[in-house]
Amino acid sequence: MRDSNPFIHFEAISKVFGTVTVVDSLDFHVAQGEFVSLLGPSGSGKTTLLMMLAGFETPTGGSIHVDGRRVEHLPPHKREMGVVFQNYALFPHMTIAENVGFPLKMRGVARAEREARVKRALELVRLGHLADRKPSQLSGGQQQRIALSRALVYEPKVVLMDEPLSALDKQLREHMQLEIRALHRELGLTVIFVTHDQGEALTMSDRVAVLNRGKIEQFDTPSGLYDRPRTRFVAEFIGETN
């Protein structure tokens, strides 16, 4: 079922910058509701892959389907995906509620509906009480939860995250890992999560795609990767401890 009707489907996707092939004819299927991590060392092509899914990069070759729609040439705002980056920039002069509501305002959503959606999105990350504050009055962890709330405000089916927790200290990172997993379950989201941290990928994901030089070495469950690594690269990368 998973592969006969994939929700996200990359077919022979490539990305070449100049003469360098960064993503190399990659096939990749994700089922609806799955939590999938893209794991690999720096420079292996994880961010480029995510940016092509989000619409910030155009593939050099291949196709991307999401929910039955071909999307690789659509601009980001037509893809209806929530996106959270490591360097989540909140607008400093706006309140938290205005920050979270900004993507809706840009799309012309009426004020009353915007306010209701912002309230719900802030409640999801349990920060409704900070709606009237400015970003500078929040801790780093709170700001990151606001960035997550802003990504959820469209009520997207797919959420893309690029190293969203790497700027946080260990304790907060572990706490946020649990929160993101809980939101994934509660909202039935399909999540694609980029990380270079093996532990994070293995504890959070239903499946993990291990990338090396623009190719997927193995796409498997955490226990599959751990117990049956198919290549030396996977064995060495999964075996490393941070």
By the rule CB under 6 A, 76 interacts with ligand ADP: no
Q: Which is nearer to ligand ADP, 40 or 101 (CB)?
A: 40
Helix (H, G, I), strand (E, B) or coil at 6: coil
What's the closest the beta carbon of residue 174 comes to ligand ADP, in angstroms?
A: 22
By the rule CB under 6 A, 17 interacts with ligand ADP: yes
Q: Which is nearer to ligand ADP, 48 or 149 (CB)?
A: 48
Tokens encoding 121? 């999105």
Q: Which is nearer to ligand ADP, 15 or 157 (CB)?
A: 15
* Contact map string, positions 20 to 59, toward ligand ADP, x by CB under 6 A: --x-----------------x-xxxxxxx-----------
What's the closest the beta carbon of residue 159 comes to ligand ADP, in angstroms?
A: 18
What's the closest the beta carbon of residue 193 comes to ligand ADP, in angstroms?
A: 12
Q: Which is nearer to ligand ADP, 43 or 76 (CB)?
A: 43
* Core vs surface per residue 46-84: b (16+ CB within 10 A) or e: bbbbbbbbbbebebeebebbbeeeebbeeeeeebbbbbb
Beta-ladder partners of 194? 38, 162
What's the closest the beta carbon of residue 47 comes to ligand ADP, in angstroms?
A: 3
Sites for ligand ADP among residues 135-154 (CB under 6 A) = none
* Core vs surface per residue 92-128: b (16+ CB within 10 A) or e: eeebbbbbbbbbbeeeebeeeebeebbeebbebbebb
Binding residues with ligand ADP: total (CB under 6 A): 10
Considering only CA atoms, give the Rg of the chain: 18
What's the closest the beta carbon of residue 79 comes to ligand ADP, in angstroms?
A: 19
Q: Which is nearer to ligand ADP, 22 or 66 (CB)?
A: 22
By the rule CB under 6 A, 198 interacts with ligand ADP: no
In sequence order, the 6+-apart residues with CB closer than 8 A to the CB of 236 are none
Q: Are 201 and 195 contacting, i.e. CB atoms less than 8 angstroms apart?
A: yes
Q: Which residues bind ligand ADP (CB under 6 A)?
A: 17, 22, 40, 42-48
